[in-house]
Amino acid sequence: MNERKAEEREVLDAAMLAGHILLENGAEIFRVEETMDRICRHYGIKSCSSFVLSNGIFSTAGDEREEIFAKVQHIPVSGTHLDRVAAVNQLSRGD
């Protein structure tokens, strides 16, 4: 795997981790998708797509010119911790 592909996978991993933290702690589905998209775009991945459900995240990156890779993650429902949601939002938006 070349260096660029490794970087893209690392960015997708970071976006998935942010999405996991948000969803697990009570964030709205729209906010999870938006945050993951922001992270990917910030690091130059224009072909990222995320589909978020109340208990899972499906994310892909790649297009007809790039190798496509995907990640799926089950997110157990654990309660609401809005301080954690606020912290990830602040990090991803640069507020």
What pLDDT was estimated at residue 38?
92
Tell me the chain's radius of gyration from C-alpha atoms: 13
Q: Which of 16, 24, 85 is nearest to 57 (CA)?
A: 16
Q: Which of 85, 75, 81, 78 is nearest to 22 (CA)?
A: 85
Contact in structure between 59 and 70 (CB atoms under 8 Å): yes
Digit-coded pLDDT (tens) for 22-63: 999 989 999 999 999 999 999 888 888 999 998 999 998 876
The percentage of the chain sitting over the pLDDT mark of 90, rounded to a whole number, equals 38
User: Which helix (H) or strand (E) segment is 72 a member of?
Assistant: strand 69-74
The predicted model gives 65-82 an average pLDDT of 81
Q: For residue 1, is pLDDT > 60? A: no
Contact in structure between 40 and 7 (CB atoms under 8 Å): no
Q: For residue 79, is pLDDT > 60? A: yes
Q: What is the mean pLDDT of the chain?
A: 86
CA angle, residues 6, 39, 55, in degrees to nearest 5: 95
Please state the pTM of the whole predicted model.
0.81
